[in-house]
Structure 1
């Protein structure tokens, strides 16, 4: 045994991270190098005599590489690449289209269906799950979306996106021109929980009682200045033309909007501000106001929806209000807090 071999064997025999089998084999060879007999080595280490003979002989023939495990042929594959492709193809079909009365596939259902159709032999759901994970196929998840059917989608969307980029008709907006995004958040309920909400504690989330009494609902109307990140809001018993015009008056009656050259109001196609009639009504009340509609079914182009998502997460959920008065007070208090400390222009990434 060379000095290098002895040093490496000692490191393997007493190394903390050495696998047990390799440590045992290193001990066998080191004891053999000291002149111990096979029987004495087997008794000291606690292995069979044939085990000592095997590793002593392997080291004599192949030196250190002989102490490693030889490659095993292993069991033949039960499933081919074609089987994998067929499993993934079935997972990418709706069950109803294949005659199965399910809304979506689960891995156990897929495994049973594959075996029932004779595509594969017996197959476990964990195998199916592993194959689907390779391609990030998630048949149990779904997302809601909507087709945009507005024939004027391009022209309407371009006007809105140009305003966010502070241009109108190909000309940049001046310093005395402003862009307002406005909408209504309808039916904010006051749900009075039958038992008090418990604050979070150590290893315990906030607890909100499932049973509640209904205390009515109100609408929250908001106008968001896109460039200055300032929000103007009000609560109303219901939506309609009068509440919308009250919001417009609340904004347009104060500076800098009252004396602005133009104030562009971006709204969706809700019934209270739909069509040319709403544009004419706004222009008649405030000559410097210009109403701009988003495309139909494209309210995501309205930046105030982002603010409403913040309100939903931080104010409304979980809904636990004794009455509508507290709902209105919370909304107004959050609006003041948001304008004073948190508000900053949204990082809008949609462009023409």
Structure 2
């Protein structure tokens, strides 16, 4: 929840509407035919050692020199089904519309090919649009994929409402808190991490509900004039 304290400083009806929409999604009961999936992405810098680390000794941590070499950047796409415990990580050299579209096709056809509708929660990045699928696939294919999705966007300054951000934080602690020098090595490491997460059917329990929002974030809700309903 990196930007929790970046929520609007005053009432914001747009924020509230998006927030309550996402919170309603999180209260849906688990249904494998209508899986709720959260998606997020992050940049990652590939780093290599300039000097070889010292050999690890029993009972001691590896000694790594502070100097490092930059080997470029890439983008990591993370998908998590909080209630079903399904996970997927994709690594791309870039984070273009086409990269996102390829990951969405994987979500549709590989992760949940039998689902009637995939309920997708993500932030409103400019590439996270139906239009991106038309940049990657023929119109009939783009439309086929879009029709399998029901998209819910988190509000601006509300990425903490995306459970895939929790997934990325776990990934960083367990897999990325060290230097990884090449794209191939990163893909290999994250593939192994993904397999372990799926093997463990790691789930996310979300506790923040609409009632909590209306109490703790009351300052974001518009003040209503006296109106008879």
TM-score between the two structures when normalised by the length of structure 2:
0.76
Measured at CA, do residues 216 and 279 of structure 1 come closer, stay the same or move farther in structure 2, by a change above 3 Å? closer
Whether 2:194 is the aligned partner of 1:335: answer: yes
CA contact (8 A) 2:30 2:83 kept: no
Secondary structure of 2:75 counterpart: strand
Aligned with residue 122 of structure 2, among 238, 256, 267 = 267
Offset of 1:197 from its aligned partner?
2.9
CA contact (8 A) 1:184 1:221 kept: yes
Offset of 1:217 from its aligned partner?
1.6
- After superposition, residues 283-322 of structure 1 pair within 5 angstroms as 284-286=143-145, 287-319=147-179, 321-322=180-181
Unaligned runs of 5+ in 2: 136-140, 211-229
Offset of 1:153 from its aligned partner?
1.6
Cα distance per residue 1:302-336 (max 9 Å; x no partner)? 111111011111111122x2322211211111111
Measured at CA, do residues 296 and 338 of structure 1 come closer, stay the same or move farther in structure 2, by a change above 3 Å? same
Instruction: Give the corresponding residue for 2:223.
Output: none
Higher strand residue share: 2
Offset of 1:232 from its aligned partner?
1.5
Measured at CA, do residues 174 and 280 of structure 1 come closer, stay the same or move farther in structure 2, by a change above 3 Å? farther
Measured at CA, do residues 210 and 312 of structure 1 come closer, stay the same or move farther in structure 2, by a change above 3 Å? same
Whether 2:94 is the aligned partner of 1:235: answer: no
Instruction: Give the corresponding residue for 1:160.
Output: 22
Whether 2:109 is the aligned partner of 1:253: answer: yes
CA–CA distance in 2 between the matches of 1:237 and 1:332? Answer: 16
Higher relative contact order (CA 8 A, sep 6+): 2
Whether 2:208 is the aligned partner of 1:350: answer: yes
Measured at CA, do residues 278 and 173 of structure 1 come closer, stay the same or move farther in structure 2, by a change above 3 Å? farther
Offset of 1:174 from its aligned partner?
5.0
CA–CA distance in 2 between the matches of 1:293 and 1:164? Answer: 13
CA contact (8 A) 1:190 1:217 kept: yes
Cα distance per residue 1:214-245 (max 9 Å; x no partner)? 11221111211122111122111110211111
- Alpha carbon RMSD of aligned pairs, Å? 2.7
Instruction: Give the corresponding residue for 2:8.
Output: 148
CA–CA distance in 2 between the matches of 1:164 and 1:251? Answer: 19
Offset of 1:144 from its aligned partner?
8.7
Q: How many residues align?
A: 199
Aligned with residue 179 of structure 1, among 15, 18, 36 = 36
CA–CA distance in 2 between the matches of 1:148 and 1:259? Answer: 40
Higher helix residue share: 1
Cα distance per residue 1:129-170 (max 9 Å; x no partner)? xxxxxxxxxxxxxx993133753122211121111111xxxx
CA–CA distance in 2 between the matches of 1:290 and 1:197? Answer: 48
CA contact (8 A) 1:160 1:266 kept: yes
Instruction: Give the corresponding residue for 2:216.
Output: none
CA contact (8 A) 2:77 2:89 kept: yes
CA–CA distance in 1 between the matches of 2:133 and 2:156? Answer: 16
CA contact (8 A) 1:279 1:291 kept: no
